[in-house]
Structures are given as C-alpha cells and as structure tokens.
Amino acid sequence: MPDKFLSLLGLCRRAGKLVLGNDPVIDSINLKKAKLVVVADDCSKNTAKGVLLRAHAMGVKAYTVPYTKDDISYAVGKYSAVLSILDDGFAKKAETLICLLKEE
C-alpha cells in the first residue's frame, strides 16, 4: 500500500507547490509563502534547528516527520531533507496525515 503522505508530497511537487532545500525553504518562510514546513527525521541537527526556529519565528507550522531523506527524495524526485508546502489545501491535508502518523 503506497504511503499517503509521500504520495501527497509527490503531488505537491508536480503541482509546483513545493519548495525543496534549506535556503529556498527559509526564503519561502521569510516571504510568507510557506504554509507548512516539513523536515526529514535524519536531517542534520543544525539544518533542522535553523529551519524550525525560522518557521516558529514567522508563525509557520513545522514538523519533523518519521521519514528519511531518501524516502522524501524518492517521493518528490529530488534529493532534499527540508521542504515547504506553498498551498493551503495541500498543507492542511499534509498536516492531517502527519497527525495520523504521530498517533501510530
């Protein structure tokens, strides 16, 4: 059974509503375009800390998800451990799926 969260990330990427990489994600947060920030579980501590602190400072929801960089990269088609979703609908659905993951 395919993972719904990873499938959603792939769909966001194809729709052009996903920003990948540390610096572009921080830029999207600063420009108030990011609706949700996602960090891979095995992301470096310094990278994760910088992105999560910036998201918190700007009032953007941010989550560390139980997926590796490889899992996320395979889903979106580009190697990345940090990403931001730019669309409200995709962000709400992703947040719902993240909450379901944390309950398991």
pLDDT band at 2 (very low <50, low <70, confident <90, very high): low
Over residues 75-85, the pLDDT tens digits come to 999 999 999 99
pLDDT band at 101 (very low <50, low <70, confident <90, very high): confident
Task: Note the pLDDT of residue 104.
Answer: 67
Task: Note the pLDDT of residue 45.
Answer: 93
Over residues 7-63, the pLDDT tens digits come to 999 999 999 999 999 999 999 999 999 999 999 999 999 999 999 999 999 999 999
| The CATH number of domain 4-103 is 3.30.1330.30 | yes
- What residues contact 19, with CB distance under 8 A and at least 6 apart? 25, 27, 28, 33, 34, 83, 84, 86
Among residues 76, 74, 70, the alpha carbon closest in space to that of 94 is found at: 76
Instruction: Domain ranges for the chain, please list them.
Output: 4-103
